[in-house]
Amino acid sequence: MEKEGLGLEITELRLGLPESVVNKNEKKRVFSEIEGVGDENSSSGDRKMEKKNEVVGWPPVCSYRKKNSINEASKMYVKVSMDGAPFLRKIDLAMHKGYSDLAFALEKLFGCYGMVESLKNADNSEQVPIYEDKDGDWMLVGDVPWEMFIESCKRLRIMKRSDAKGFGLQPKGSLKGFIESVAK
27 binds another protein (CB under 8 A): yes
- Among residues 58, 79, 124, 148, which is the contact residue for another protein, using CB under 8 A? 58
- 115: CB partners within 8 A, 6+ apart: 103, 104, 106, 107, 127, 129, 158
20 binds another protein (CB under 8 A): yes
133, β-bridge pairs? none
77 binds another protein (CB under 8 A): no
Q: Mark 35-54 with x for binding to another protein (rule: CB under 8 A) and - for no binding.
A: x-------------------
Q: Is 164 exposed, middle or buried (0-12, 13-18, 19+ CB in 10 A)?
A: buried
Please give the C-alpha separations between residue 152 and each of 29, 73, 131, 139, 141, in angstroms, as whole numbers.
Answer: 34, 15, 9, 11, 11
Q: Could you tell me where the DSSP H helices lie in the chain? A: 24-35, 63-68, 99-110, 115-120, 146-152, 175-183
4 binds another protein (CB under 8 A): no
**Closer to another protein at the Cβ: 43 or 74?**
74
Residue 145 CB, nearest approach to another protein (Å): 12
65 binds another protein (CB under 8 A): yes
Contact region for another protein (CB under 8 A) — 18-26, 41-49, 77-85, 132-140? 18-26
**Closer to another protein at the Cβ: 13 or 169?**
13
3: alpha, beta or left? (left if phi > 0; alpha if psi -120 to 50): beta
- Among residues 7, 45, 136, 173, which is the contact residue for another protein, using CB under 8 A? 7
Residue 86 CB, nearest approach to another protein (Å): 27
DSSP assigned state of 17: P
Residues that bind another protein (CB under 8 A): 1, 3, 6-8, 10-11, 13-14, 17-18, 20-21, 23-24, 26-28, 30-32, 35, 55-66, 68-74, 94-95, 97
